[in-house]
Amino acid sequence: MKIYKFLLVLSISLFLFSCSEDKMDEINENQNNPSEMTVKNILPDAILKTAYETTGTDIAWYSDVFCEYAAGTWGQANEADYRIGMNSSALMNNSWNSIYDVMNICKTIIDATDPTTGTEPSRTGDRGVAEILMAYNLAMAVDMWGDVPYSEAFQGSDNLQSTYDDEQTLYAEVFNLLDAGITNLEFGEAITGYDYIYGGSLEAWIRAAHSLKARYYMRLTNVSATAASDALAEIADGFASAADQMLFSDFVDNLPNANPWFEYWYVRDHNSISSTIVDLLTARNDPRNSWYYSSGDIAPIGAAEQTQGGYAQSNLTTGSRSWDPVLPLMTYHELLFLQAEAEFRTGAAAATWQATLQSAITAQFSWLSEYMLYDWTNGDPDPMNIGDATSYFTNEVLPRLTSGNELNEIMTQKYLGLFEMECIETYNDVRRTGIPTMQNPNNITVGFMNRFPYALSETQSNPDNVPTVDVHVDKIFWAL
């Protein structure tokens, strides 16, 4: 009997000790640093980083120089303008790592919402958005680097040396992801994560996905005979108006959380408006000439002196915290420019694509009026007269739409209309069409920037898989 009582007391003691240990572990767990995050808590991070890091920083600032909206007039931007050290693996290391960070977050959401194996299979709205963002970031990676890791990526320490997938195969995956995103959003399950772009609207994200498909189809005009017609089919379900466009606007007026374009100018002041775009504006008596930049000397593309503030600056950049500080991922006017090009390429009547081109120009004037222009004298927004768009089209654009020059003027108008925060798309268009002709003399003596060099983080840790490329020679598969 004594032995039985002893064993009973010992068992109770061990049980209480075990419970006490479990409770202490629970109490000691940091609830602010959970080992697993729910989908609704990480989706906002994917949206924020896609806008800020993928679209709004280094890729854009270098594209600004390479498409000659800006001349690099200080530091790294000046080196880019003169084509100094452009094959260096350190050039775009931060952007490469940022894009893979975002794609890893998207992959985590997609895995968690898998209908068979996921921990949150009912979150089809979040899954759809994550698939769209994955497509956006993957397309960005392919457009800038070509072959990139994907099928073996996102495995963490289980695979630190991923193979590189073929760029054309990855572009097919971009369309697969967008289609999957549309399908999941059509289920009608609510987006649970905070949505910085569309406030949780499933319909708006579906329109954005169709619009992005149109963008990426038009990217393929050199390699696909059906690219333009495929794009038109998507445009029919894309943005219906400017109210649908894909914008990030949750910035504040003050550093460090202001529009990244303003921060770039305020902290570095590396870019100045270039002679290339000013010459195109001036030749067309373009009313945006006086709105795009303030007074000052125009920086000669490829030959500017190093100076911070010594040349005319872009008003869109210097004032981008003073009005609605939006960052565009895709605008309504871009979609209309894509439509005008696609209609022309598919043989639509001149009246049809000319009307679409005029609508694109008018929409961009409206964009400037609402988001980008600022009256420096009065400290208030000063809307442009939309009538200027009509007279501009009639007097300056229409006479240039002569036989054989149609595509040149369509793309030139798009070039002028996507200044400056949409410069990534302009850089892609210049590489795809060669329009307008770039004027940087270093394109001839050194070479145009056909792509970005692979990142230092890859060349050091994954050297056996990194392709060998010369950024001045080797082109992305869809480029001209």
Q: Kindly state the DSSP code that residue 380 receives in the 8-state scheme.
A: B
Q: How would you write the pLDDT of the chain (480 residues) with one tens digit per residue?
A: 433 333 334 444 443 444 444 443 443 444 444 456 899 999 999 999 999 999 999 999 999 999 999 999 999 999 999 999 999 999 999 999 999 999 999 999 999 999 999 999 999 999 999 999 999 999 999 999 999 999 999 998 888 899 999 999 999 999 999 999 999 999 888 999 899 999 999 999 999 999 999 999 999 999 999 999 999 999 999 999 999 999 998 877 677 777 888 888 888 889 999 999 999 999 999 999 888 887 799 999 999 999 998 999 988 887 655 555 789 999 999 999 999 999 999 999 999 999 999 999 999 999 988 876 555 445 555 556 667 899 999 999 999 999 999 999 999 999 999 999 999 999 999 999 999 999 999 999 999 999 999 999 999 999 999 999 999 999 999 999
Q: Kindly state the DSSP code that residue 347 receives in the 8-state scheme.
A: T
Query: Which CATH number is 39-443's, of 3.90.110.10, 3.80.30.20, 3.40.309.10, 1.25.40.390?
Result: 1.25.40.390
pTM, whole model, 2 decimals? 0.91
Three-class SS state of 451: coil
> Nearest to residue 135, comparing CAs of 188, 171, 93?
171
Please tell me the distance from the alpha carbon of residue 201 to that of residue 180, in angstroms, as a whole number.
Answer: 17
Q: How far is CA 9 from CA 1, 5, 6, 468, in A?
A: 12, 6, 5, 72
How confident is the model over 395-426, as pLDDT tens digits?
999 999 999 999 999 999 999 999 999 999 99
What residues does each domain of the chain span?
39-443
Question: 371-410: buried (b, 16+ CB within 10 Å) or exposed (e) per residue?
Answer: bbbbeeeeeeeeebeeebbeebbeebbeeebeeeebebbb
Q: For position 35, what pLDDT does the model report?
A: 53
SS3 string of 205-253? HHHHHHHHHHHHHHCCCCCCCCHHHHHHHHHCCCCCCHHHCEEECCCCC
Please tell me the distance from the alpha carbon of residue 191 to that of residue 187, in angstroms, as a whole number.
Answer: 11
Q: For position 43, what pLDDT does the model report?
A: 97
Instruction: Tell me if 303 sits within 8 A of 72, measured CB to CB.
Output: no
Please tell me the distance from the alpha carbon of residue 324 to that of residue 318, in angstroms, as a whole number.
Answer: 13
Q: For position 31, what pLDDT does the model report?
A: 41
Tokens of 126: 């979040």
Beta bridge partner(s), residue 247: 328
Q: For position 7, what pLDDT does the model report?
A: 38
Please tell me the distance from the alpha carbon of residue 29 to that of residue 23, in angstroms, as a whole number.
Answer: 10
Residue in the structure block whose two tokens are 């998507």:
234
> Nearest to residue 94, comparing CAs of 472, 473, 452?
452
